[in-house]
Amino acid sequence: MTTRRHGISRRTLLRRGAVAAAGLSFDIGRRGLAHAAAAAGYVPRPPLPQYVLRIGATALDPDGKQAVKGVTANGVFPGPEIRVRQGDLLQVRVENLLEDEPTSIHWHGLLLPAAMDGVPEISNFPIAPKGVFVYEFPIRQSGTYWYHSHWGFQEQVGLGGPFVIEEADAPKTERDAVVMISDWMHASPKAVYDKLRGGPAKKEAPPMKGMKMGGSMPGGMKMSGGGGADLSDIKYDAFLMNGRSMADPWTLSANAGERIRLRLINAGASTYFRIRLDGHPLQVTHADGLAVQPVEVDHLLMGMAECYDVVVALKAGGSYTLHAVAQDGSGQALGVLHTPDVAPKVNLEMPRFDGRELTYAALSATAPTTLPEGPDRTHRLVLGGDMARYVWTINGQAYPKADPLPIRLGERVRLEMRNTTMMWHPMHLHGHFFRVLQGANELCPLKHTVNVAPSQTVTVEFTADNPGNWFFHCHNLYHLEAGMARVFHYVA
Ligand code: C2O
Ligand code: CU
């Protein structure tokens, strides 16, 4: 090999190549750099991403009854667990292998720059079919989170997974396991949605299969009178725990007395779940990823996208069923915790939800969450719905035909959400944690998703400290699709 092929001495090339490899100079062409690097025996490469998610079409049959056209990460459902440490710099390379559909991955509950938030048209371009996007962001927090597609109905058909951030300092429990709960239907969610909207049902979809008939109006919503609540408008075929049905449940073996940290994630698209472990109380230690003062309860209700960590210790040798019952009572997801000396045995009976229930009022942060002084801004948001047309609104507008909500950097923003509908809405804000206000309490818990029950008003507040455009929406996938969403926009 001649050292003068490019009209430049080998020594110069080496020197320039070394500088370029250190990222300090780009005055040398690609060919020149490669040549120099090869000559020096060193090939500069970007750091390898810690995770690669290949998004593709996968036939899924988690309840063993019917194969469904799923969309998965790396062919598995739930998606691979991402587990990092507080303080890491994370890189996830997402390859869209789908032939005909974009995708976009949202890191639910993570405090990251807007450009990494994964919401098409708001913070990111969607990842086109055959396209690739590398998400990269520093891990500024710890706890239990999850990721999911923010494109169409991909979240309902399998594209989501757990995201765990281990604390830099906290003592470890003997066992640590993710419990991801989801709802599952055999019909195409798009066809179900179109049916709810009164549109023509698509030919290829099994007609009405996913739609709940009993007690529902053809428009998809019950017209119940005052006082009652409408607990679901979608009919599911199964409820799953870590992707498994009750016929072949998820199990965890632990010795009696060992402390088990269960990282509960409600990854349901439109199902609230009530959680209970046979014969054991649950010690709630974290809400939406963040530590709270430990509180013991017998059961808890989880809205879509809420996360709770609970610590349990099996009292004695045996097999104990963990129940996640759909709020409307239509079914449950099950798992079994057992000591190694006994075979796991599932209890299919519906548990009773008596005893102590977790409430937001019982959640206290571990340090004051009072916001720094700053100019105030209040957005009063009426959560509404049009029964006949299956349109869900905020202040009468259905996204995307909806005005952005202005906020300014440094402001203390209050959201007063008034639910005028018969359904529950788990309202989620991207890129920020808000305090859920309970009077003048300085230990109000911080959350990323808050339930607003029928006829209830909930107030939250947060500091506007993360510039960009941020999605704010109901985490019922069908309500989101039908308009219950807005964009918070930082103005100058
Ligand atoms: Cu899990 Cu837009 O959110
Ligand atoms: Cu909703």
Q: Which domains does the chain have, with CATH numbers?
A: 1-45 (no CATH), 51-170 (2.60.40.420), 238-358 (2.60.40.420), 376-491 (2.60.40.420)
Residue whose Cα lies nearest atom 3 of ligand 1: it is 108
User: Ligand nearest 421 Cα, by number?
Assistant: 2
Closest ligand 1 atom to 305 CA: 1
213 forms bridges with which residues in the sheet?
Answer: none
Q: How far is the CA of 430 from the centre of ligand 1 (A)?
A: 7
* Digit-coded pLDDT (tens) for 248-300: 999 999 999 999 999 999 999 999 999 999 999 999 999 999 999 999 999 99
**C-beta of 448 in contact with ligand 1 (< 6 A):** no
Question: Tell me, what amino acid is at 172?
Answer: K
Dihedral angle sign, alpha carbons of residues 108, 109, 112, 113: positive
Dist. CA 95–CA 108, nearest whole Å: 19
Q: How far is the CA of 90 from the centre of ligand 2 (A)?
A: 32
**C-beta of 363 in contact with ligand 1 (< 6 A):** no
Write the CB contacts of 90 (distance below 8 Å, at least 6 apart in sequence): 50, 51, 82, 84, 135, 136, 137, 138, 139
The single residue listed with the structure tokens 């989880």 is 302
User: Ligand nearest 148 Cα, by number?
Assistant: 1
98, 71 contact by CB (below 8 A): yes
pLDDT, residue 232, reads: 84
Residue whose Cα lies nearest atom 1 of ligand 1: it is 108
User: Ligand nearest 423 Cα, by number?
Assistant: 2
Task: Write b or e for each residue in 134-148: b if 16 or more Cβ atoms lie within 10 A of its Cβ, otherwise e.
Answer: ebbbebeebbbbbbb
The predicted model scores a pTM of 0.86
DSSP label of 185:
-
430, 470 contact by CB (below 8 A): yes
Q: How far is the CA of 168 from the centre of ligand 1 (A)?
A: 26
Dist. CA 90–CA 112, nearest whole Å: 11
Q: How far is the CA of 486 from the centre of ligand 2 (A)?
A: 13
Q: How far is the CA of 407 from the centre of ligand 1 (A)?
A: 20
Long-range contacts made by residues 118-124, C-beta under 8 angstroms, separation at least 24?
A: 118/150, 119/150, 119/430, 119/471, 120/150, 120/151, 122/469, 122/470, 122/471, 122/487, 123/430, 123/468, 123/469, 123/470, 123/471
CA neighbours closer than 13 Å in the CB half-sphere of residue 84: 22
User: Ligand nearest 431 Cα, by number?
Assistant: 1
**C-beta of 432 in contact with ligand 1 (< 6 A):** no
**C-beta of 150 in contact with ligand 1 (< 6 A):** yes
**C-beta of 148 in contact with ligand 1 (< 6 A):** yes
pLDDT, residue 198, reads: 87
**C-beta of 106 in contact with ligand 1 (< 6 A):** yes
**C-beta of 60 in contact with ligand 1 (< 6 A):** no
pLDDT, residue 448, reads: 98
Q: How far is the CA of 119 from the centre of ligand 2 (A)?
A: 18
pLDDT, residue 17, reads: 35
pLDDT, residue 402, reads: 98
**C-beta of 222 in contact with ligand 1 (< 6 A):** no
DSSP label of 397:
B
Closest ligand 1 atom to 155 CA: 1
Angle at 473 between CA 469 and CA 477, to 5 degrees: 125
Nearest to 423 by CA among 223, 267, 264, 208: 223
**Percentage above 90 pLDDT, the chain:** 78
Q: How far is the CA of 464 from the centre of ligand 1 (A)?
A: 18
Q: Measure Cα distances from 84 to 76, 140, 162, 332, 360 in Å.
A: 20, 11, 11, 31, 28
Closest ligand 1 atom to 471 CA: 2
Q: How many residues does this entry show for the chain?
A: 492
Closest ligand 1 atom to 119 CA: 2
209, 193 contact by CB (below 8 A): no
Evaluate the omega torsion of the peptide bond into residue 120 and state whether it is cis, within 30 degrees of 0.
no
32 forms bridges with which residues in the sheet?
Answer: none
152, 190 contact by CB (below 8 A): yes
**C-beta of 471 in contact with ligand 1 (< 6 A):** yes
**C-beta of 435 in contact with ligand 1 (< 6 A):** no
Closest ligand 1 atom to 480 CA: 2
Residue 225 burial by Cβ neighbours in a 10 Å radius (0-12, 13-18, 19+): exposed
**C-beta of 299 in contact with ligand 1 (< 6 A):** no
What are the residue ranges in the chain where pLDDT is below 50? Answer: 1-34, 201-227
User: Ligand nearest 479 Cα, by number?
Assistant: 2
User: Ligand nearest 417 Cα, by number?
Assistant: 2
Q: Measure Cα distances from 216 to 103, 257, 401 in Å.
A: 32, 46, 27
Backbone angles phi, psi at 15, to 5 degrees: -65, -50
pLDDT, residue 46, reads: 61
Closest ligand 1 atom to 430 CA: 2
**C-beta of 305 in contact with ligand 1 (< 6 A):** yes
**C-beta of 428 in contact with ligand 1 (< 6 A):** yes
Q: Measure Cα distances from 484 to 72, 175, 481 in Å.
A: 26, 39, 7
